[in-house]
Amino acid sequence: MVIVIGALLCASAGVSLALLAVLLSAMGVSLVLIVLRGERSRNLALEAAIDRLLREARLAAARQH
């Protein structure tokens, strides 16, 4: 739907569809980068939580011996 509306706006403004394709591609790439950045920070948070749990488990095991 967004593509159709964008194509109609570009056609009415005299802008080529090639320019619309470039703009949509750039928008798609930026959305992918935003998603990847979110995945990366979530993975880092998970790794930190796992490291903390492992440290606590090691300390608890050391106290029992």
Task: Decide if 19 contacts 10 (C-beta within 8 A).
Answer: yes
Instruction: Find the angle CA(29)-CA(6)-CA(31) to the nearest 5 degrees.
Output: 20
What is the model's pLDDT at position 27? 81
Count of structural domains, the chain: 1
Full residue range of the structural domain in which residue 33 is found: 2-64
What is the model's pLDDT at position 10? 66
Please tell me the pTM assigned to this model: 0.51
Phi-psi region of 45 (alpha: psi -120 to 50; beta: other; left: phi over 0): alpha
Mean pLDDT per block of 10 residues along the chain (65 residues) reads 67 72 80 87 91 91 84
Give the list of residues 6+ apart from residue 35 with CB closer than 8 angstroms, or none.
none
